[in-house]
Amino acid sequence: MLFGGLFSAYIFLRLDASPGDWPHGLLNVPVGTMNTAILIASSVTVVLAWAALKMRQFAKYKVYMGITILCGVIFLVVKLAYEWPQKFDHFGAFIKEDALEKYEPYLGNKHLLEKGLPPRKEITGHLHNKEALNHPNVKEYEIALDPVNADPTNPVNDRPHFFYVPPTKKIATIEKADVKYANMFIPRHSAYFASYFTITGLHGLHVLGGVLVFVYFWLPIGANMYKQNPEHLANRVEVAGLFWHFVDLIWIFVFPLFYLL
Amino acid sequence: MNEAPESQPAETVPHDDHTAEHVAAHVRKYVMVGVTLLTFTAITVALSYVNFGTMKANIAVALLVATFKAGLVAAIFMHLSAEKRLIYRILIFTGFFVLGLFWLIYLAWYNPIVR
């Protein structure tokens, strides 16, 4: 129900976004796919750990549970040490409606209109003059453009890329007066990133909780419990596993909604 | 270390059909479900690069695949397929309210009163 509320917030924000306001292709799809695979694999190993306990194979249980814990940790490390920081280092500026024409060489909206695709309103890339973010005397942003803005009429950029392509060497200068809103890719950048960070953050906390419980069962405490009553540990692992599968289940929806669509 | 013995004297008898032989027979199934889930993850990614005409169509396809995957996880990994009726009754209740929540959101956006 907690995630249900957040997903409904997502639906509301997305339905209400006017064409071109909901960004696409800003996340790293191969990394997201890999994380999905890791989480699914960990769901399998936790069932196998439980099955090993049921069959009274404690050594196997230790191995499967160890793999599960490792998968959970890798998932979190990828998220916190790679994906999020990469976003925090990326920049986007939404152009005012009446200035869209001026930045047409970076947006390629005539080309998109001909193809019947939604317009582009944002210019993204690597911000060279970071002081522009909070210094009122700096009147413009200098951006090393993302490929989509460096070559906006190229058909390969009509749709998001599968592989992440870093910003090009092409520099664009955007006047602050023409910008509706600009920021790094942090929650306040847009409704998209606000919901992305909220939902993946809360999901990450659930992953962390699951990992902690599994570590507890994996430590000697688990072995002692097993010696006293193996069925006891098996049932605990089953229940913790239920929670873990639920975390996997949420991710199965999060992944396409944020990374792919 | 704390390695417990592999074989145990008779302890509490498993209360359900989750006996050792039963579980052993299911292990293969669990691995197969895992492989299916991974395959469908690849399919989701591939389908998102296929143009189904509108964004709405693409979203519908992706959510269908996701729902199928989530169903597999719930039915097999979470043992829902072997659950008692009471669990289903509670689940239907929950599902009803989640969908109801989404429907309310849709109504709020569509706003049939003003329209």
In chain A, the residue whose alpha carbon lies closest to the alpha carbon of B110 is A15
How do residues A195-216 score in pLDDT, each as one tens digit? 999 999 999 999 999 999 999 9
Under 8 Å between Cβ of B14 and A231: yes
| From-to residues of CATH 1.20.120.80 in chain A | 2-87+191-260
How do residues A138-186 score in pLDDT, each as one tens digit? 888 999 999 889 888 888 888 888 888 888 889 989 899 898 888 999 9
- Predicted TM-score (pTM) above 0.90: no
Cβ of B20 and A44 within 8 Å? no
What are the CA-CA distances from residue A197 to residues A38, A44, A249 (Å)? 20, 27, 18
Cβ of B11 and A230 within 8 Å? yes
Strand pairing category for A179-184 and A91-95: antiparallel
A81 touches chain B (CB under 8 A): no
How do residues B97-112 score in pLDDT, each as one tens digit? 888 988 888 888 887 7
Which residue is it, tokens 């992305």? A196
> For chain B, what are the domain ranges?
17-82, 83-115
Which residue is it, tokens 């209109």? A113
Across the interface, of A48, A58, A252, the residue whose CB is closest to B69 is A252
ipTM of the complex: 0.84
Cβ of A56 and B66 within 8 Å? no
Please give, rounded to a whole number of angstroms, the shortest distance from the CA of A147 to a CA of chain B.
18
Q: Return the CA Rg of chain A.
A: 23
In chain B, the residue whose alpha carbon lies closest to the alpha carbon of A241 is B78
Secondary structure in 3-state letters for chain A: CHHHHHHHHHHHHHHHCCCCCCCCCCCCHHHHHHHHHHHHHHHHHHHHHHHHHHCCCHHHHHHHHHHHHHHHHHHHHHHHHHHHHHHHCCEEEEECHHHCCCCHHHHCHHHHHHCCCCCCCEEEEEECCHHHHCCCCCCEEEEEECHHHHCCCCHHHCCCCCCCCCCCCCEEEEEHHHEEEEEECCHHHCHHHHHHHHHHHHHHHHHHHHHHHHHHHHCHHHHHHHHHCHHHHHHHHHHHHHHHHHHHHHHHHHHHHHHHC
Stretch A21-25: mean pLDDT, rounded? 83
Selected from 3.60.130.10, 1.10.10.10, 2.60.120.1440, 1.20.120.80, the CATH number assigned to the domain covering A2-87+191-260 reads 1.20.120.80
Tell me what the pLDDT averaged over chain A comes to: 90
Across the interface, of B41, B49, B105, the residue whose CB is closest to A40 is B41
- The number of C-beta contacts closer than 8 angstroms across A and B is 134
Q: What is the pLDDT of residue A2?
A: 86
Q: What is the pLDDT of residue B18?
A: 65
Residues in chain A with CB shorter than 8 Å from the CB of B104 are: 8
